[in-house]
Structure 1
Amino acid sequence: MATLTVNPADAVSVTLDPAIETVTAGGTVTFTTTATDTYGNSWDATAAYTITPGAGGSWTDNVYTSAISGTWTVTGTVDGVDGAATLTVNHADAASVTLDPATETVTAGEAVTYTAVATDSYGNSWGATAAYTITPGAGGGWVDNVYTSAVSGMWTVTGTVDGVDGAATLTVNHADAASVTLDPAIETVTAGGTVTFTTTATDTYGNSWDATAAYTITPGAGGGWTDNVYTSAISGTWTVTGTVDGVDGMATLTVNPASAASVTLDPATETITAGETVTYTAVATDSYGNSWGATATYTITPGAGGGWTDNVYTSAVSGMWTVTGTVDGADGVATLTVNPGALDHFAFDPISNQTADQQFSVTITAQDEYSNTVTGYTGTVTLTDTTGTISPVATGNFASGAWTGNVTITQIQSNVTITAEDGSVSGSSNSFDVTEYKIYLPLVVRGG
C-alpha cells in the first residue's frame, strides 16, 4: 500500500467572501478567498487584495480598513486569477458642518433657505439634514430648513448634524415703515425759535429705528426747514408731518408771537368832551408779522390830567394830547382831543388890593367843571361885590370864553370879593382890600 497526495492545480476561478458588504468609514472588513482549479478542486487561498483606486483606506493581509465613502470593487488575485467583491462605504458621523449661505442679509419678513454639508473625520462630505435654530430674540420661524425672518439685528443660525454644529450669520434689516412717531410730539416755541425733530419708524414686525424723514408743516406756518430743524415764523397751532416710506407721523407745534416790534392803538384819533372816557385797544405786531390783541401800559402827555383804569382813560384838561401804549418796550401812539365841557363856573384872575374910586382891570374866564376855558361862551355876566358899590354891574360879551375890563369900587372895605353871575352859573374872586384914596401935597415952608 502507498499514499498519494494530489494537490490542486492552479486556480481557474476565485470567489471572495463577503461578496457584497457595507461598512461605515473607518470600519474593517475581513475577506476570505476560495480558489477552484480546472478539476473542481477548491481550497482557501491566500489572495493578493486590492481595492478601486480612490477608495483610500488600507490593507493588513486580508483585512481592509475603509476610509472614503462610495461603492468600491475589492479584487482578490490567486495564481493570476481575480475574484471580485463589492464594498459600500458609508460616511461616518459628522465631524464638522458647514451652512450655506454662510453670510446673508435679508429684510424682515423675507425667507432664507439653508443647506448643510457635513464632513466626517475621513473627509467624506454630504448634504445633511440638519436641525436648525437661531439666536433667541430673532423671532421668526422655521419650516424645515427655511427660516422666515422677523426681528432686525445680526443673528447666528445654527445647523446641527450628529451633535455637531455649523454656524452662519444672518443680518435682518427692518422692513418698510408701518408707523412713524415724531419727537417732540407736542411743542411750543416763540416765533423765530427752532425745534429739532427726531423720527422713529416701526415696521410691521415691531422693528423700530431712527429714521430720516421728509418734513413738512401746515401751509401758512411760514418758517423754514434745514433737514430736521424747523425755524418758526407765523404764530398759531400747526401740524408737523414726518414721512418715511410713504408713511406719515405727526406732531403739534404751537408758535407764539415774539416780542412786539410795533404797536397800533385804536382809536388812533379821537375827540371827546372833558370828563368823558375813551377805551383803547392795542394791537402788537412782531418782526415776523404776527399780530395780537395786547395788554399795553398806557400813558398820556403830562398836563392832560385825568386818569387811567387799565385801558380806559377819563379825560380832564382840554387840549390835544398824545396817548402812548407800550408793549414789550415798543410804543404805539394815538391823538386825543379833549374839548371843554358845559359852562360850570366863572373864574377870576387874582386881584390885588385896590384904591376906592380908582379903576382897576378884571379878567373873568368861563370854565367847565374841570376848569377848562369854555371858549364857546360869548355871553355877559352880572357883577356884584360885597361893598355893593361896583360899577359897571355887567360885563360886555365874552370872547373865546373870557372878558377883561375895568371896574371901580367906591366903598372902602377889607376882604372884598367880586361875584360874576349868568343865571345859575356864578364865580367869585379872591378877597382883597379897598383902601382910601389919598392925595399927597408938597410941603410949603414960609419964612417969618
Structure 2
Amino acid sequence: MKRAGAGSPRLNGLLILALVVLQLPIARAQPALAAPGDVIADVATPEGQVLSKSIAFDGRYLYYTEYNGTVLHRIDTPPAGGPSAATGHIDIAITGAPSGINAISYDAGRDLFWAAGGDGVSIYELDKTTGIATLAFTIDPATNRPGDCKYLTCSSEINGLAYDGTDDTLWYSPDATTRVYHYHTYASAAGSAVLVDGTPYVDVDVPPNDMTPQCGYDEASGVAVGGDDLFILGGGCPYLFEYTKTGTKLGWIQYAYPGQSPWEIACDNLTYPVSVFWARDAYYGHIRAIQQPASGACGYGGLPPVARTLKVTAPASVNAGQPMTVTVVAEDLRGNPVPQYGGTLHFSSSDTSSGVVLPADSSLTNGQGTFSVTLTKAGAQTVTATDTATTSITGSVSVTVKPGAAASLTLGAPATATANQSFNVTVTAKDRYGNVATGYRGTVQFTSSDLLATLPANYTFTAGDAGAHSFSVTLVTPPSESVTVTDTAN
C-alpha cells in the first residue's frame, strides 16, 4: 500500500511503474504472482446484473443481498482466477426487516450478520441460517448522525457497514457520505444508536486525510475492518484507502477492477494464500477478491481470527508405554486455523497412572504444534489441551490404550485350602504397567513346595483367554505350601 505523503520524485516514479503494471491483463491473476489491488478471484452471481449493495464472508461462504433485499444469498468461495460460475447457491428469505436489507457485516463472535435496513436507520442482527432480522437499534437522524453526512442529507442507501470486534462496535457509511459514523452495538434506553465517545466518526474530506488527491473528489462507500485499521472504498473511484480509527489516512491502493465500482467490501484472510477483500460490484453482477495491502491486514468477522477451541488429534490406538504424537491446532468458531494464536497450553489426561508422560506447558507456533504423550493404563483414555489463561479454549482427543507385552505372571488363589481338596487358581499375564496382557500366548508350568500336590499340566494361552486362565490345584501336606507359575520360555 502506498503511504500517505509519498510525494518525492523517486516515489512518483514508483507510482508510474505501478500504474503500468496495472494495465496488464489480471483477470486470471494467481495469488503467488499478485500484488496489492490485484484481482485474485472473480465469481459471477446467479442473479446477474442487479442493483446490489452488500457482501459478507463468514469464514467459509460468501453472503449478499440486493438493494433493499429480502433474500440472503449464499455461495461458495470461488477458486483463484476466474471469472467462474457460482456454486453452492442457496437463498434464505429475510423476515423482520420491513424495508429490506442494504449492507451486511459478519460478526464472528456472535456468528451472525449486522445489517442496515432499507430505511437507512434501522440496524438489525440477522441470523444467517434462518434469515430472521431482529432490530438492535435505530439511528436518530437528528442526534445520531452529527453533520448529516456532511452532504445535503444522509442517504437511506447504506453502502458500508462493518463490525469491529476490537471494541464491539459498528462503522456505518451511507451513500455519498464524507463522514463514516461509529456506533456501539448496544442501544440507548430509548432504543436509538449510541455514538462511540472519542471516535464518533471519521471524515474523508479533510486534508491531508482526504481522498481528492487520488479520486479527484471525496466520497466514502464500502467500509471494512478486521484489526487495527479501517478500510474505506472511494465512491465510484478505483482506490481503497486505509485509515486509522481516529481518521488519519495511512495509505491507499489502486485496485484493478474490470467491472463497475464496488459498493461494499468484506475481509477474508483464510481462503487464498494471500489476504483479500471481497468486493461486490454495484451493477455488474460479479463478486471479486482484491488482494489486501498486507497479509492479515484485515481479518474476517471484524478482527483477525480469534481462537475459540483447540483441535487435538492423535492415533486412534497406542500400546501402553509407547510414546505417541499429539497435534494441537488453534481454531476459530468456524473451524478455521488461527495462526495468530499465542496462548499457553496445559496438558492433562484421564490416565493418571504412574508412568504417564505429558508435555510441559507449551505455546504453539503459527497456531499449531506437535507433542509427545505417553499413556500407560489400558482402555479408553483422553488427552486434553487447555489454554492456561482462557480455559474455555480447550480440546480433547480419545485414544484407546492397548496393553503392552506381558512382563509378569500373577497367581490368584484363596488364602486357605483344605488338604486333598482341589481349588481354583487364576494365572494372569500383565504388562509392566499392570494391565492385563490380553495378547499373551506363552506356555506356563506349575511347581509347588508340596511334593504330593496335584498340579496342572503345562498350558499354552490362547486368544480366548485374553491374558487370564483358571486352573485346578490340590495340595496335600499341611500346614503351609506354595504354588509357583512360570513361563517356560522365560
Query: Which of 1 and 2 has greater Rg?
Result: 1
The higher relative CO (CA closer than 8 Å, separation ≥ 6) is in 2
TM-score (norm 1): 0.39
The answer to which structure has the higher strand fraction is 1
The answer to which structure has the higher helix fraction is 2
TM-score (norm 2): 0.36
